[in-house]
Structures are given as C-alpha cells and as structure tokens.
Structure 1
Amino acid sequence: MKEALDGVVRPVLALENQYADGDALAAHHHERGQLLYGASGAVMVRTVQGTWVMPPQRGIWIPPGVVHEVRMLGEVRTYSLYLEPEASARMPTRCEVVGITRFMRSLMCEAVELSASYDLDGRAGALMTLIQYEMKQLSVLPLSLPIPAHDLLAKRCRDFLGNPSPHDTIDQWSDALGVSRHTFTRLFRRETGMSLAAWRQQACLIVALPRLIAGERVTSVALELGYDNPAAFTTMFKRVLGTSPRNYLSLRKLEESF
C-alpha cells in the first residue's frame, strides 16, 4: 500500500483492498490522513488513545501520523481515501467512526478506478474535489472507546475489554487501583472524558458488535457479557445506537443490498 502512495503528488488517492477473516495490520502510520470504508466485514482499529469498531458499510477517519493497528473481523473489502496533510487539516484531529452515505459510497467506488496520476483539471480531479467536500459532511457514530494515558488505569481498561461486565462498580475499580472513590472518579473522567458507567457501557458495545455482525444470537452475546437478560442488553444497545440490535442488523443488511 505504501508503495502505491509514494511519489504521487495528488491531494487525494484511492485504493481498494481485500482481507481474510482475522488478518491484522501491525502498528503503522501514514503521512496522509485515511478514510477507511468497509464494504463488507467489520474492522477494529486500535491506537494508544482508544479502540474503534467499524461495522460494515461504515467508515473510520484516521488522521495523518496516528500510529494504529487494524484487525479484520470477517472477510473484509475496503476502499480507502488518502488525503495529503494540507487537505486533512479540515478533518477531525482524532480517529472517528463515521456514517457513509450512499452517495459517498458511489464516489469512493468511482475513485478506486482512477489512475493514481489522474488529471487534476479533468473529471477525475473534479470527482476528488467533490469527495473532499462530502467527507466533511459525514456524521460521527458513537463507536469509539477512549483508553487512558495513565498506565495502571489503561491496563485495567484493557483487562476489562478482555472480560467485560456490566456490573463492575466504581468501588471495585478504585480498590484495584488503591485510590479513594473520589480520586478514582476524578481521574477516570479526566483521562477518558466519560464516567465509568458510560465507558463500561461503551466497552460492552464495542465487544458485542463484531460478534453480532458475525451472526451470534443476541441472547448468547448478552448473557456471555454478563447481562442479567437480553432485554437489559437491548436497552443499553438502544441507548447508544438508537435502535435495537435486531433492527440495527436488519438495516445493515438492507444497506449492503444497495
């Protein structure tokens, strides 16, 4: 991929890639900003700042210079747009999962067919200019999970991702870190921008979503995550994503058919 970008002077470049289930890209970074769109399969992106899950038919913005690891969940076909740093300056300064409109999908499918040395003054150049305008209109989705910079707290958060539970309490976490409840609450919010309850909920969603997309039953996922019943899990899911797991997955399949 890097070789395809080296030496090409264009504000936007587009590439298409295919990956097998479980494929992983080791920690790396790009001089350009990247909008990664998954036409199929789900993708998990990790940086020192957090974890992001990109469901199928969604995208993730990765700013220039951000070191990130990528893991494929299912067979994944991606389209990527790479923006020069100057063009990236008008985009978010942190990773964000974003919605991809039908129009944007069409533009990206057209873009990957272009030569890397496309004519800036012709149709191709106009297409890439339009893409830059459309990128700024993409809506941010609540599919990120910040990881603290504080070493002990970061370890606790990563351990939680390996064994999430909706019942963890502030007292359990503060005791594990050897600090008072008040100190922990203040530290956690300062490091993540969230309360522990909100972060814990988001973490459960980040873990559950790839499994649901892979076809696991809502009941199985909910109970294995430690929810008392599927209804409690569904309530959490609706609170974050605005709809039930069943409706969310049905909508995703409908989008894939277009």
Structure 2
Amino acid sequence: MRNVPLADHDHVDRDVLPIGTDYPPRHVLDWHEHRRAQFLYGATGVMAVETRDGTWTVPTDRAVLIPAGTPHRVRMVGVSTRSLYVEPGAVPWWPATCRVVDVTPLLRELLLAAVEFAADYDLAGREGAVAALLLHEIAALAPLPLHVALPSSPDLADLCRGYLDAPDARATNTEWAARVAMSERAFTRRFRHELGLSPATWRLRARLLAAAPLLRTRTVTEVAAHLGYSSPAAFTAAFSATFGLPPSRLVRRA
C-alpha cells in the first residue's frame, strides 16, 4: 500500500500492515502515536525520531522500531519510507523504547515487496509467508547506538532540544547554567544525575549525531571540516569512540 493513511486500514484483521509513503523535503510529522508498533524504514534520506525520552537518528537504509502507544515526532530530509504497523500482541519481543537497527538486504527486499500488498492480503499464500518472515527478520536485527537521551525535567529537556536543532561547539556549561538560573556546579550535578553523563559529553554526542544527515550528501572529510575537526581521522576517532562504529557506516549504501 503506497501513500495511504494508516487510519484507513488499521481495523483490518492482519498482524502486519505494510505501508509505503513518500514525503516532501524537510517534512515534519508532528507529535502523534499509533495503536500498533511501528517498524519505520527509510529507503531514502535521513530521519530524526523524537520521543519524550530522547532522539534517534535514522540514516538511509536503516530503520527504527517504535513501541505501540509511544508519542513521537519525525523530522525528515528527503525521505521515502516503508513502514510496518504491527499488532502489539504479535511481537512480545518488541523493545520498550525506540531502537535504530541495520536493515539486511533480504529484509529490504521483503519490505519493498510487502508495500505492494492489499491491506487484506492472503494469509495462507505467498503474501502471508512474506509478512511472517518480515517479523522473523526484524527480531534478528542488530541495534545501532544512534541516539541521545533527553532529561526528564522540562527545563533541561528544552535546553537539549534547542541544542539538537542547532548544535554549537562553542556552548559552555556556564551559559547553559545561566539559562536555567542555576550555578554551574549545581547545573552540572543535576544534569549528570538525570542522564548519567556530563553536559559537555552530552553536547559532544549530539554534535556527532548531527553528522548523520550531512553524510548523506558529503564526504567524511567535508563533514569533519564542517564540525571543526582538524582532520578526518580525528572526526572518525571521536565518532567511533562515541557510537562504536565509524561514520563511513552511515554513508548511503548502493
């Protein structure tokens, strides 16, 4: 099913509903939630999925697992998606929070085939077998640590969301503390208590994660220079140390 609203088919008696959607450039799906769990795959472009707990960056050819009933917002850059909306009872193993995953070539081809199905596809035939195999493949996927957590308190969360919108390497703890009317020491202690890491470490992670959309159209060398690193090697080392994989893994695959 291509470019059809989920609401038109959510009632259909199928555990897995595949829907493909093409979005205009810089599109934002504002805050919403689904009754079903969602497997959101980006066939093109880059997505940023935000919940109350954090932000997950989804490069081209990757996907994010979104739990049922989770309020979320999606920012898109040149995105065409292939989604699976899954009855929660059919996937007791689904993660309790969002998770970015690599997508295997087999799963990608299954997704491309499934979005051409009618909503009431034949469970007993080929289409039912493809739907069942999709869930087996998703259950075996490896997670990617492409996310940053958000503080639980509204004032710190607003501070972090603002930084995610416009990462700035010049930002300091002193400036951030002043914006929430706290001493630097008290601010740093409170931030570390809520997220388990210092504000400076959080900002570094957020800046590096902002490189993911850039890697869609620029080389690692260009992105390293844009983020202020002295060399591609320095940027690669920082990215690898933070996320456990090199930035070259995020370059669009052929």
Q: TM-score, normalised by structure 2?
A: 0.85
Shift, 1:160, TM fit = 2.2
Q: One-letter code of the match for 1:139?
A: A
Q: Between Structure 1 and Structure 2, which shows a larger proportion of helix residues?
A: 1
Shift, 1:136, TM fit = 1.2
Give structure 1 stretches of 5+ with no counterpart. Answer: none
Identify the residue that residue 147 of structure 1 maps to in structure 2: 150
The 1:236–1:6 alpha-carbon spacing in structure 2 relative to 1, beyond 3 Å, is same
Q: Are positions 1:90 and 2:93 aligned together?
A: yes
Q: Distance in 2 between matches of 1:189 and 1:9?
A: 46
Identify the residue that residue 238 of structure 1 maps to in structure 2: 240
Shift, 1:172, TM fit = 5.1
Identify the residue that residue 194 of structure 2 maps to in structure 1: 191
Task: Give SS of 1:213's match.
Answer: coil
Q: One-letter code of the match for 1:150?
A: S
Alignment of 1:43-192 (within 5 A): 43-74=47-78, 76-166=79-169, 168=171, 170=173, 173-174=176-177, 176-177=179-180, 178-179=182-183, 181=185, 183-192=186-195
CA RMSD of aligned residues (A): 2.5
Q: TM-score, normalised by structure 1?
A: 0.84
Give structure 2 stretches of 5+ with no counterpart. Answer: none
Q: Are positions 1:10 and 2:25 aligned together?
A: no
Q: One-letter code of the match for 1:248?
A: R
Shift, 1:20, TM fit = 2.0
What whole-Å deviation, never above 9, does each CA across 1:143-187 have from its counterpart, x for those lacking one?
A: 111111212211221232244244655555445541463x54453
What percentage of aligned pairs have identical amino acids? 42
CA contact (8 A) 1:166 1:227 kept: no
Shift, 1:93, TM fit = 0.8
Q: Distance in 1 between matches of 2:212 and 2:57?
A: 8
Shift, 1:226, TM fit = 4.8
Q: Distance in 1 between matches of 2:8 and 2:231?
A: 49
